[in-house]
Amino acid sequence: MSDHASDGAATPSEAPVAENPYGGASSATGGPKRVRTRHFQNAKRDGIKITGLTSYDQLTARIFDEAGIDFLLVGDSAGNNVLGYETTLPVTVDELIPLTRAVAGAVERSFVIADMPFGSYENGPDEALHTAIRFMKEAGAHAVKLEGGERSHKQIRRIVGAGIPVMAHIGYTPQSEHGLGGHIIQGRGEGVKQLLADARAVQDAGAFAVVLEMVPADAARQVTELLHIPTISVGGGPHCDGQLLVWTDWAGLTTGRIPRFVKQYANLAGVLGDAAREWRADVASGAYPTEEHSY
Ligand code: KIV
């Protein structure tokens, strides 16, 4: 897309970069260009689907960036997937900052979004802005995400007013699991009215995109048609402007129950388990190490 022309090119990578869905240069033509919030708007306008994955470390961040994933979310799902908590509720800003710094430091093109954890923005706009600034200054995030529609619109407005892009998150919001009464699909039946009100509220507050988690596909379609900002589905069906998945679920690394909306694209748990068993057997038998692995 032509507005990429004036954007600063990142260092070209040796690895092939998937064709830039926004029309900017790929590595073959001079290096990937950083995804910006305007590219999210352009993608919606042009009907180009946006892709996002969670990432919590520099190794996966680099792989996903080189594969052309448009944005990486340093989600508070790190609570379950990295830190060993049962829910996302205990996660703190101090725990997410080093993970965000690792991801932001590894990418050339992907847009890096830091998730604001529970307890870091609910007290009001001042607290929310303070947290968002920490993610931008201390971790190098490009944007922040926070949960809640109408209830979070003042926080979103304040953060956006300070020049920090905000991705909103409505529908099922895991930080409110207990308030919502469990893992329950949102926006069903009459619930679509609240979903539409939440969507309008976050758009009016200045969010550049909104995650729709665990909502019926038809409700997500209505929100997508209503809004001029892109909708990003996490279990919101095919009508959204983009799709986001938790990478450990998507790559088959999660060993517990995974949500129905996830399609697994690999079986990393199987691959790593097989490798560990083979290596253990080789050490036991003396097949490893051999001379070629010794000094
Ligand atoms: O933390 C996370 O991974 C998320 C997504 C599920 C949207 O918030």
Question: Is residue 168 lining ligand 1, measured as CB closer than 6 Å?
Answer: no
pLDDT single digits (tens) 105-146: 999 999 999 999 999 999 999 999 999 999 999 999 999 999
The ranges assigned to domains in the chain are: 37-250
Band of residue 21 on the pLDDT scale cut at 50, 70, 90: low
pLDDT surpasses 90 at 155: yes
pLDDT surpasses 80 at 6: no
- Which parts of the chain fold into alpha helices (H)? 37-46, 58-66, 78-81, 93-106, 125-139, 153-161, 177-180, 191-205, 217-226, 247-250, 268-285
Nearest residue (by CA) to ligand 1, atom 1, is 75
Rounded to whole angstroms, how far apart are CA atoms 90 and 14?
Answer: 39
Rounded to whole angstroms, how far apart are CA atoms 170 and 162?
Answer: 22
Is 190 one of the annotated binding-site residues?
A: no
Question: Is residue 249 lining ligand 1, measured as CB closer than 6 Å?
Answer: no
Domain at 37-250: CATH code: 3.20.20.60
Is 147 one of the annotated binding-site residues?
A: yes
Predicted local confidence at residue 25, as pLDDT: 39
Q: Residue 30, by phi and psi: left (phi above 0), alpha (psi -120 to 50) or beta? A: left
Nearest residue (by CA) to ligand 1, atom 2, is 75
Q: Is 292 a catalytic residue?
A: no
pLDDT single digits (tens) 229-263: 999 999 999 999 999 999 999 999 998 889 999 99
Rounded to whole angstroms, how far apart are CA atoms 138 and 59?
Answer: 20
